[in-house]
Copies of this chain bind each other. A is one copy, B any other.
Amino acid sequence: MTGYSTNMRIKLPLFCLILQFITIILFAVFVRYDHESDARGWHDELKNHSTANADNDFYFRYPSFQDVHVMIFIGFGFLMTFLKRYGFSSVAFNFLIAAFGLQWSTLIQGFFHGFHDGKIHVGIESMINADFCTGAVLISFGAVLGKTSPVQLIVMTLIEVTLFGINEYIILNIVGAKDAGGSMTIHTFGAYFGLIVSRVLYRADLDKSRQREGSVYHSDLFAMIGTIYLWMFWPSFNSAVTAHGDDQHRTVLNTYYSLAACTLATFGFSALLNGEGKLDMVHIQNAALAGGVAVGTSGEMMLTPFGAMIAGTLAGIVSVLGYKYLTPVLDSKLKIQDTCGVHNLHGMPGILGAVIGAIVALFATADIYGDGMDDVFPMIFDGSRTAKQQSLYQFLALLVALGFAIVGGTVVGFILKLPLFGTPSDAECFEDAVYWEVPGGEGHQQLTVVVNNEDPDTQA
């Protein structure tokens, strides 16, 4: 049933094992424990009374890290299991991409952010940032879900992680924008990158696989596991790398309120836009999460709780409208086949989040922030920028993210077209059996048997 191009016997082991080998070599040369995880380093500090075990950043950030970890592996992984015959690939390729991506991003981000004396210093914060970077790749994965081979996905990860690191460095360190929850660096970048890749890989005959591009009852429930975990832990995501104290605390509050408001907006608009007043699982699974994206930049700022709610409400509305009206148009007119609708969950809400961040930055005053200004807007605090200037730089950062996504996505799209990497035929998309030993026998797997009988290959 599967053609030559999707046979992964040689390609997949080759890519997995060679990349792992190279990564180990690079880690051996460059990566070292940081001063908080190194036995001698930390104990020297303890001996000098310059710190105490309770001050180890591990205790401030590890719970947040684990929440982010759950979002990456369970959240993204299960959110994509909604497809009736692509559950294995969704959760397992998500696993593969993230496991490779976090190693590679440790290196790339380390070169830009954690390089000391020729070595990359790793610790709890580098782990969070590595997970964050894989988040961008998994968003792009959502756009091409079901239409790419695992080797294509590994190649995409390799390049996208690298571009993510450069883009992030420019936005945070050169432009000097704030984006702790990644509205720009993660969501906008990841979404438009994936959409452009999907555009380049446009499949005119995808209709041959459309009968598999939907859900069944229990696959929608598996997807809800992903949704709910993403929703619950988004406050940890947005606050994971903000400053200790009030910053983490406030970011959590803002994200919590934004998501709650977004959920009501999503249910309301989902029923409103359906002719019979029925709710659509696709909206609940996705649009209800847009509130987390929409406060990714502004969550650490003095957004105010009701400001967070307005952000979340707008994001939910935009996202449902996108699923209803925009996704079909992107597909038919712009030739962008966006499997998971990442444009509605990450793309538009990411831009919205960037704009909200720029607006909130505009109103930053010493009266509101006090000395907390140093944590949120250090350049306003030290007088090197006005609030208005900071706001403009926030907008500039959005343009940088969009630029990197569009150029990078185009390049990667054409690279992925190389026959070398293999790709399923138009009639083999959204089908686990192409890459997996699907269980045979009684019951469920009859589903697959039935599927194979009416497989497009046979129809073609």
Contact = CB atoms under 8 A, between A and B. Distances in A.
Interface of A: 2, 7-17, 19-20, 23-25, 27-28, 31-33, 36-44, 46-47, 53-60, 62-63, 66-67, 69-70, 73-74, 77-78, 81, 84, 87-88, 91-92, 95-96, 99-100, 102-103, 122-124, 127, 150, 211, 214-222, 224-225, 228-229, 231-233, 236, 244-250, 252-253, 256-257, 259-261, 263-265, 267-269, 271-272, 274-281, 284, 288, 302, 304-306, 309-310, 313, 367-373, 375-376, 435-445, 447-448, 450-451
B437 A278 contact: yes
Contacts of A122: 253, 305
Contacts of A20: 261, 264-265, 268, 309, 313
A224 B91 contact: yes
Given A16-B267, A20-B261, A9 B370 contact: no
A100 B264 contact: yes
22 contacts: A9-B277, A27-B257, A33-B246, A39-B247, A39-B368, A43-B246, A56-B244, A56-B249, A57-B249, A59-B60, A66-B67, A69-B232, A70-B232, A88-B281, A91-B228, A95-B228, A95-B231, A95-B284, A102-B260, A218-B218, A442-B450, A444-B447
Contact of A439 (B9, B216, B448): B216
Most central of A23, A217, A368 by chain B CB within 10 Å: A217
Contact of A40 (B69, B73, B265, B372): B372
A253 B439 CA distance: 36
A108 to B, nearest CB: 15
A113 B284 CA distance: 33
A388 to B, nearest CB: 19
A81 B448 CA distance: 20
A128 to B, nearest CB: 11
Given A38-B250, A271-B12, A445 B216 contact: yes
A268 B12 CA distance: 6
Contacts of A24: 261, 306, 309-310, 313
A218 B7 contact: no
B372 A249 contact: no
A87 B309 contact: no
Contacts of A14: 268
A70 to B, nearest CB: 6
Contact of A39 (B102, B305, B310, B372): B372
B443 A216 contact: yes
Nearest to A126: B253
Given A37-B250, A100-B260, 12 more contacts: A14-B268, A23-B261, A23-B309, A27-B306, A40-B371, A53-B244, A63-B66, A84-B442, A87-B218, A278-B435, A279-B435, A281-B436
Contacts of A225: 74, 78, 225
A444 B39 CA distance: 55
Contact of A279 (B8, B69, B284): B8
Nearest to A245: B53
Given A7-B277, A28-B306, A370 B250 contact: no
A56 B246 contact: yes
B369 A40 contact: yes
Most central of A77, A304, A443 by chain B CB within 10 Å: A443
A274 B442 CA distance: 23
B37 A253 contact: yes
A12 to B, nearest CB: 4
A256 B129 CA distance: 13
Contacts of A103: 257, 260-261, 309
Given A249-B56, A249-B123, A288-B95, A444 B88 contact: no
A307 B180 CA distance: 31
